[in-house]
Amino acid sequence: MTPEALQQELDAGRVRSAYLVAGGEALLRDESIAALRCAVLGDAPADFNFDRFEGDTVSPGALADALHMLPVFAARRLVWLREPTGGRGSWKSLCEALPALVRELGKDAPAVLVVSATSIDRRTAWVRAFGDAWVECEAPRGARELVAFVKKDAKRLGIALASGAAEQLALRVGASLIGLRNELEKASLLAGAGQKVTADHVAASAADLAEEPVWDLTDAIGEGRAGDALAVLHKVLGAGAAPPLVLGTLASHFRKLLRLRTGGAVAAPPFVQRKLETQARRYAPARLLVCLRAIHDTDQALKGQGALPPPLALERLVMGLAA
């Protein structure tokens, strides 16, 4: 089912006993899980009724215990399992146990199980165990669908769009829904409160970042050349690139690397595909997740939630990514 179909089910009062929320688009995964949390827990205290487990550390027994635990001042508990997709070690035993755990969850079960993953193998037994309770979270690829997302998101955020603005945004950002939302909000700030966002606002706020400096930066980071990476960063910032744009480019790049490193695919020209695959091989999946968390923390700093000014926050990030 799509995230929209999930929301319609939840609005109609239907909550299943288990869900698989999977796909490469983090924004859709996050919003689907938030909708499930709201539907399952409502106003109930999360301290007693919500458990979150990581797929590389939790044992099948601990997960089963959480699913059988009774709720406190709530109708049901919510148990969230993240990324059980390694296929080895503890991940392997967990994936082997999941089909039976899903089957045991009837309509009167004390907990709802939500499993989320960036990429999955549709042929595995644990994936098939969810049946049609699979929320597919992939970003649209076609230009028409991306433009529709921008217009829908703008309406939800109360942002007025002039003719051509959504098309310009989709053209510049591409199939990254988080990127589209971030750039939409940036363009709205540039336009001013109560003003329509035009194609010119989009062009000014989502200025293109030259490809060559980006590859120089990510190559230096991937090879651990922190000094060279800092030099390229200073060159990019000195050329007038805004810190949020540089950060957004790094976030998009590392999401692509993680998708490739975990068996997914990235739509790109052949020469770009080869470069991405070469860089992806330099990282373990766990390391890429650490990098993305660091990028998220820097995003919060750029939004005023950190003590460092934006250029220094980016310097710290680049040094950490290259470590």
Specify the pLDDT at position 179: 77
* The total number of structural domains that make up the chain: 3
Strand, helix or coil at 321? Answer: helix
| Both tokens assigned to 312 | 């220094």
Residue 292's CATH number: 1.20.272.10
* Domain co-membership, 196 together with 158: yes
**Is there a single domain that holds both residue 249 and residue 310?**
yes
Please tell me whether residues 7 and 127 are part of one structural domain. yes
Among 108, 136, 164, the domain boundary falls at 136
pTM score, two decimals? Answer: 0.59
The pLDDT of residue 19: 94
Domain's final residue, options 102, 136, 170: 136
Task: Give residue 274's domain range.
Answer: 211-322
Indicate if 17 and 72 belong to the same structural domain. Answer: yes
Domain end marker among 154, 173, 205: 205
* pLDDT tens, N- to C-terminus, the chain (323 residues): 888 899 999 999 999 999 999 988 888 888 899 899 989 988 888 888 898 888 778 888 889 899 999 988 888 899 999 877 665 556 778 888 889 999 888 878 899 999 988 878 888 888 899 988 999 988 777 778 888 888 988 988 889 999 888 888 887 777 778 778 888 888 888 888 788 889 888 877 765 554 556 678 888 887 888 888 898 888 877 766 778 778 888 888 888 888 888 887 776 656 667 778 888 888 888 889 999 999 988 888 877 666 677 888 889 999 988 87
C-alpha angle with apex 252: 251 to 257, nearest 5 degrees?
95
77 and 157 in a single domain? The answer is: no
Residues 220 and 265 reside in one and the same domain: yes
What is the per-residue pLDDT for 276? 82
Residue 18 sits in the same domain as residue 130:
yes
Which residue bears the tokens 């007025």?
Answer: 160
| Category of 2 on φ-ψ map: left (φ > 0), alpha (ψ -120 to 50) or beta | beta
Q: Which residue has the tokens 């336009």?
A: 191
Residues 177 and 83 in one domain: no
Instruction: Report the DSSP pairing between strands 134-136 and 111-117.
Output: unpaired
Are residues 28 and 126 both part of a single domain?
Answer: yes
The 3-class secondary structure across 21-74, one letter per residue, is EECCCHHHHHHHHHHHHHHHHCCCCHHHHEEEEECCCCCHHHHHHHHHCCCCCC
Partners of residue 81 on adjacent β-strands: 53, 115
If asked whether residues 9 and 119 sit together in one domain, one would say yes
Q: Please report the pLDDT score of residue 271 as a whole number.
A: 61
Residue 221 shares a structural domain with residue 304: yes
* CATH number of the domain encompassing residue 167: 1.10.8.60
CATH of the domain at 103: 3.40.50.300
Both 114 and 153 in a single domain? no
